[in-house]
Chains A and B, each alone.
Chain A
């Protein structure tokens, strides 16, 4: 006995129905690879802010650290399919993914600490708070360092940027793992393990490019000269950072400056590269990335990153 070819339009159902009837649980959507709903990355985590800590200040601090990771993650993601070889393409994608994970947790922590920082979306929107923060704020509301937002250059540029960024962030997170905010402490303790790989990766490539050919060395020193003026900002203290450091929940970046210096000196010395002498890029009337003052590159980057989410605030299309 043979079976006739099923008619996909038959009223009795079509050959694909089997894919949709997983079992009889209402609302079951297991056939979708990642489900169709949003999950809370802090589900079940106690997000109570310690009594004597200013919740808004803690939230703002989490936005700073979260925005740094989100914006640099997006920049590094732009390398996908453009790296010099497949291994570096995968490595950069992994680094971007780690940073995206850190950003998600930090933005969720910011929202849980002080819901007033989250942009308002239409009634009934299923977009979770951390996505609302990522996709529905304008450039002026982002608190990231400007070194994370400037456009990509060549491969040496992403190596230098990752080295500078990961070196500061690893030092900060090592101390932040002792934060009096247990949520921030846990996010930082996890991040330390990831950032250790990022810093080593970038440090090895820095050395390789410095000791490679004349051309690789020229490109490396050019990238370092270009990014160095933006490296004053990550190590200077913003009033919010001073506040959370005093409260024992955050870390003053100035406090890790010496440690960062030692690490970078080690890389420069082994690589035979001189430390650049360029002065830090000034803020505008004292305002920098931490205050929402950005280069015009951030607006363009966000336009691309946010366009789909903004077109569909109800999370459906």
Chain B
């Protein structure tokens, strides 16, 4: 019979191993959406936070968490934490390395919002390198990509398109 602490640690390990349904090279922990795992009244309660308000992966994350924990014998429930709002700064170093290893460009520092946000009418400038060939000769195709969290780029050296996880 594990102690409460050991159980919580194990439950955390299981929750932390669940991957993002849209970027499966990232665990929810590396993505920074896993906000906490606690035991409450014999149940495990996992708290996650959405990356974007309309992120359709939230339901899948919840289902995957409940499954993995149920398979391990836990009575699990998933709750939502809305505050503080998720920031791409929460993606771990290991997560950034995993993104690069899979051909995705990792986000730079998120802009800090203090007071009114300045309008930016020129294309967003980011110092990026192509995750495939390493060239800095890249250009922005669109600030919006196949999922809410990514922008589209192309490398003008190797001519391959790639995705960049946006700073928010």
Contacts and interface: CB of A to CB of B under 8 A. Distances in A.
B53 A101 contact: yes
A101 B117 contact: no
A190 B56 CA distance: 15
Interface residues of A, number: 56
Interface string A260-284: 0001001100100000000000000
Given A41-B80, A171-B116, A197 B85 contact: no
B146 A259 contact: no
A90 B113 contact: no
Interface string B130-162: 000000000001111110100010000000000
B2 interface: no
A193 B85 contact: yes
A43 B143 contact: no
B52 A98 contact: yes
B100 interface: no
A12 interface: no
Interface string B99-119: 000000000000101011101
A102 B86 CA distance: 15
B143 A203 contact: no
Contacts of A192: 113, 117
The majority secondary structure among interface residues of chain A is helix
B144 A94 contact: yes
A72 B53 CA distance: 15
B67 A191 contact: no
Interface of A: 23, 25, 28, 30, 33-35, 39-45, 87-88, 90-91, 93-95, 97-102, 104-105, 170-171, 174, 182-183, 185-187, 189-194, 196-197, 199-201, 203-204, 207, 259, 263, 266-267, 270
